[in-house]
């Protein structure tokens, strides 16, 4: 089963990929930073952040920015998944590989057959969101 929905939140930070995708600039800790690369998501007209939920066969991916969705597609589309050690070493900060979003995925999401199906649907949703921006 596949499903896509949007909800709204007062903050974008607590979602699984936020820390790993939006890198703080300067010496300010991530949780207090205001400047990021890529930039943090913007509030919509209602003054809230969009949260995207994409379900593929029983697992729901959650994104608080378009960039997080693109990053997920990039990582999951690789035939061989990178190690979370390698991914966490690319990001400055104190969070280790066991905290990385990829290490937190359930085992049934990691096989190539599942990821191919997920990436196809995630790409479809990415295109839909991109056209609405």
SS (H, E, C) 110-127: CCHHHHHHHHHHHHHHHH
pLDDT tens-digit map of 44-79: 999 999 999 999 999 999 999 999 999 999 999 999
Distance CA 121, CA 119 (A): 5
Would you state the pLDDT for residue 124?
A: 98
Angle between helices 112-132 and 66-76 (to 10 degrees): 150
Contact 2, 56 (CB under 8 A): yes
Contact 64, 9 (CB under 8 A): yes
Return mean pLDDT, the chain: 96
The structure tokens listed for 86 are 């390698």
**What's the residue count for the chain?**
133
For range 4-19, the mean pLDDT? 97
Residue 127 has pLDDT above 90, yes or no: yes
For range 97-109, the mean pLDDT? 96
Residue 132 has pLDDT above 90, yes or no: no
């Amino acid at each position: 089963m596949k499903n896509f929905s949007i909800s709204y939140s007062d903050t974008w930070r607590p979602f699984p990929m936020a820390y790993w995708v939006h890198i703080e600039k300067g010496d300010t800790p991530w949780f207090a930073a205001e400047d990021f690369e890529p930039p943090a998501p913007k509030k919509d007209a209602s003054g809230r952040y969009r949260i995207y939920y994409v379900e593929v066969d029983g697992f729901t991916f959650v994104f608080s920015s378009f960039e997080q969705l693109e990053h997920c597609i990039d990582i999951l589309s690789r035939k061989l998944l990178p190690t979370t050690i390698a991914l966490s070493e690319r990001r400055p900060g104190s969070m280790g590989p066991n905290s990385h979003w990829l290490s937190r995925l359930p085992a049934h999401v990691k096989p190539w057959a599942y990821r191919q199906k997920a990436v196809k649907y995630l790409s479809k949703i990415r295109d839909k969101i991109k056209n609405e921006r």
